[in-house]
């Protein structure tokens, strides 16, 4: 059965395919890029969950197929939760990971390690063409480094060191990251819901 991944972020597609396959979900997973004629939905929500649902519903309505979406970001305690839902465009240009990370490091340059707590957050949403919806959240807590380290992952991975780890997320293998990540937790929790909705 076909399930649309309502994201145009190639890194998310890679992680989601691995997370869902490891969770035993055997479906035909297709990224939103397979439907280039469908315009991007405006992320007008004020929470990760609202934006994930907006993206999932847009694809489910346009394709008449079930869709799952991820809305995610980095929340920094000392910044009151920012960048949060603005993580992908923190430095202005959507998806410019390096500029976003550099700006955040500059903003935090005076903050010492005990005050650099942060977490990744992910909302995983399922929407069906009939309007049915479900959303679950996952978090990964850690501390922000003063300089990037590692080349794996994407986004802010080179600066987040998960609690209990000596490496950054970008220094973990894909399997290690998925096992503890906000995205791994959220989508593993969504799998039973997807199974039931698709009759798998």
Catalytic residue among 22, 70, 71, 97: 71
| Residue 96: active-site member | no
CB of 199 to ligand ITT, least distance (A): 26
**Residue partners of 97: CB distance under 8 A and separation at least 6:** 154, 155, 156
171 binds ligand ITT per the rule CB under 6 A: no
The window from 110-118, 124-132, 149-157, 187-195 that contacts ligand ITT (CB under 6 A) reads 149-157
- Token pair for 169: 């997320």
Residue of 95, 98, 175, 196 interacting with ligand ITT (CB under 6 A): 95
- CA-nearest of 7, 17, 33 to 155 is 7
Please check whether residue 52 is in contact with residue 27, taking contact to mean a CB–CB distance below 8 angstroms. no
Identify the residue among 116, 119, 134, 183 touching ligand ITT (CB under 6 A): 183
| DSSP for residue 148 | -
* Other C-beta atoms lying within 10 Å of the C-beta of residue 105: 17
The contact set with ligand ITT (CB under 6 A) reads 7-9, 12, 70-74, 87-88, 95, 97, 100, 120, 153-157, 169, 181, 183
């Amino acid at each position: 059965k076909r399930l649309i991944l309502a994201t145009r972020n190639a890194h998310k597609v890679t992680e989601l395919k691995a997370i869902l396959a490891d969770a035993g979900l055997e479906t035909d997973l297709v990224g939103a890029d397979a439907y280039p004629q469908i315009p991007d939905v405006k992320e007008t929500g004020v929470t990760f969950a609202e934006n994930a649902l907006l993206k999932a519903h847009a694809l489910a309505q346009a394709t008449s197929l079930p869709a799952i979406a991820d809305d995610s970001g980095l929340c920094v305690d000392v910044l009151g939760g920012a960048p949060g839902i603005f993580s992908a465009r923190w430095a202005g240009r959507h998806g410019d990971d390096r500029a976003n990370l550099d700006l955040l490091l500059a903003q935090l340059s005076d903050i010492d390690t005990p005050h650099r707590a942060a977490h990744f957050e992910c909302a995983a949403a399922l929407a069906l063409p009939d309007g049915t919806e479900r959303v679950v959240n996952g978090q990964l807590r850690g501390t922000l480094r003063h300089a990037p380290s590692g080349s794996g992952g994407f986004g802010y991975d080179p600066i987040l060191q998960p609690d209990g780890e000596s490496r950054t997320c970008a220094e973990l293998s894909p399997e290690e990251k998925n096992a503890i990540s906000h995205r791994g937790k959220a989508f593993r929790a969504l799998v039973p819901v997807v199974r039931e909705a698709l009759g798998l």
